[in-house]
Structures are given as C-alpha cells and as structure tokens.
Amino acid sequence: MKTPHRLAIIAAAGFIAAPAPSLSADWAPTKPVRFIVGFPPGGATDLVARILQPKLAASLGSQVIVDNRPGANGVISMQILKNSEPDGHSVGMSHIGSLVVSPAIQKTGYDPLKDFVPVGMLVTLQNILITHPSVPAKNISEFIAYAKSQPGKVNYATSGIGSPGHLAVALFESMTGTTLNHIPYKGGGPAITDLIGGQVPAFMAVISTAVPHVQSGKARALGVTGGKRAEALPDVPTIAEAGVKGYLAINWYGLSAPPKTPPAIISRMNKDFTAALNAPDVIKQLKDRGIDSAPSNGADYLKFIRAEQERWVPVIRKAKIEAN
C-alpha cells in the first residue's frame, strides 16, 4: 500500500489541498459507500463497478451502492465527486474521457490533476470496431474502402463526444485517410442497442460491451484497438495487424476520491479495491469480457494520467474535437 513517501508525492503534486485530519490506520466506513459511475447501466464502466461491488461490500464491511450519474462523457459524475464529503463514503470511477478529453475541450468545473485524490488504476481494456451484419465490409481493409467510397456518410456510434471510442476513430481516420460521421450516445448501452437494431451501422465500442453480441452473431467484429488480440475474442485481429500499422488506442478506468480525502482513507480504499481486482473470480469475469485487471497505487495512477494527456491532447486538437 502507499508508503509515507508515496503519500508525500501525491501531496506535493497538489492533490491534497489542505492538511488532512488525523485518522487512524484502521479507518472503516460507517454508512454505505457510494461508487459513482459516469455512464448509464449496460456499458463497460457500469459492468466493472458491479463486478467489484460484492467483493468491496464484503471487505469494507459496508453496503456499496453503484450510483450511475451519466452525462457529458463522465464530467457530471466527476463534478458530483468533487463536491462530495471527503469522508470515504464517496468514490468515483475516472477515465480518459473525464480526466483527459473533456478538460481539453470544455469547461468542466474541475482541474483533473488537482481537484481529486487519485486512489489507483482499476482496469485496462480495448475498444473494438464492430458493425451491423448488413454492412458489406467484413474486415478492416474492406471497411476502409467502404468509408472512402462515401466520405463523411458512414455513420459510427460511440459512447459520447470525447469518449475513448471517439478518440480511437479520430486516430483511425488520421491514419487511414478516411472521414466518418460521428453519432455520439450517452453511453455504450444505448449505442449497442441501436447498433444491433440497425439504426447505426458501426460502433467503436468498449470491448466488454461488444463481446456477447459478437459471439451471438448480432454484431460483426472488424478489429480491436490494442497491441494484442483480446482473449475474449481471439479470432479478431488488432487494427494494426489488419493493416493500419502502428495503430494503438487503449482504454482505462481508475478510481478517484473527493479533494482533501485523508491518506488513511485512500490507503484503505486502495487496499480493498486491489484485493477485489486480484480475486481469481473477478479476474475471470473481467477477462471473459475482454477486460484486464490492472490495480496500481495513487502516485502511479497520477503519472499515467499525465502521460495520457501528453499523448492524446495533440490528437484531440488535430481532430478538432469539440463539445456540443
């Protein structure tokens, strides 16, 4: 868990804005813990939260409530988290949309590097380009040709403006010379519903949202966005492997706490979430949906967020991604 040196690093980085009240190392919640998720049920963020929920309730000795607060690519949930009491009874799932993209394209009402205490990384996962079976393209090369034959007219869904899927397609367009038409949704759940129903032909989805529908034949998988094939869909190539050399776009979720949350609470939360993520049955549930458990400490999570900002903000600027 976090050492005094690591906690000092977090404090020096500006995450703890004021001296925390003295708490014993054996802090425990005294009421239900609210796990704030910035997307509606049916998507990957909600899935991860609900897989972890029973383990956390058992280890914390308190009820854990998944509180879905969708809107603005996770911004609304982070605003709620920022204004929550720093008493350990509210934590929030943070991700590339709420901590990297949205702060670069709109006023969010928070500083992603100063207004939250980082608890740690939770999981990493790939995006996947899927289509409705009626789309004539059956692989990445054919999809590129299909898109080039009608520039700007092929619609694709994502879970929102500035979402990991939106970034993944922006990078895809840049590297393939294609132009697609973005249809943003308020989450992966509503988007996959319309993809299956044929209302939208393509969807750059978080892989966990897509796996059951690809396996059932209701959606066709063209390629995953990571550096290796997903264990859940081993027959689906990476986009780089399918011909777009150098392509890579990884998704991730982490855990953040309200500003001024004391170190003892952060340490306890990191301990319990790490234990849950390392549980064999949790690892299996995640892997079955193409998600990798990736717990870390708060200091490493902070470094990762900064690195992601350096990588993706130039892509955002080049693609001229803007909020509504």
Going from N- to C-terminal start, the domains of the chain cover 4-125+252-319, 126-224
State how far the Cα of 54 lies from the Cα of 79, in Å rounded to an integer.
26
Q: Does domain 4-125+252-319 have CATH number 3.20.20.140?
A: no
User: Is the distance from CB of 38 to CB of 137 less than 8 angstroms?
Assistant: no
* List of residues 6+ apart from 111 with CB closer than 8 A: 103
126-224 topology per CATH: D-Maltodextrin-Binding Protein; domain 2 (3.40.190)
Q: Is residue 54 within 8 Å of 272, Cβ to Cβ?
A: no
Type of residue at 99: L
Q: Which residue bears the tokens 């500035």?
A: 162
- What per-residue confidence (pLDDT) applies to 249? 94
Which residues of the chain fall short of a pLDDT of 50?
1-24
Query: Rounded to whole angstroms, how far apart are CA atoms 70 and 125?
Result: 20
Distant-in-sequence, close-in-space partners of 6: CB < 8 Å, separation ≥ 6: 297, 298, 299
Place of tokens 């519903």: 193
pTM score of the predicted model: 0.81
pLDDT computed for residue 25 by the predictor:
57
126 close to 225: Cβ distance less than 8 angstroms: yes
Calpha distance 194→207 (Å, rounded): 16
Cα 119 to Cα 10, 116, 136, 268: the distances in Å are 10, 9, 45, 10
Residues 6+ apart with CB under 8 A from 303: none
Closest CA to 211 of 183, 185, 192: 192
- Listed in order, strand segments (DSSP E) in the chain are 33-37, 64-68, 90-95, 117-131, 155-158, 181-184, 202-206, 220-224, 250-257, 291-293
Distance (Å, whole) CA 277 – CA 76: 26
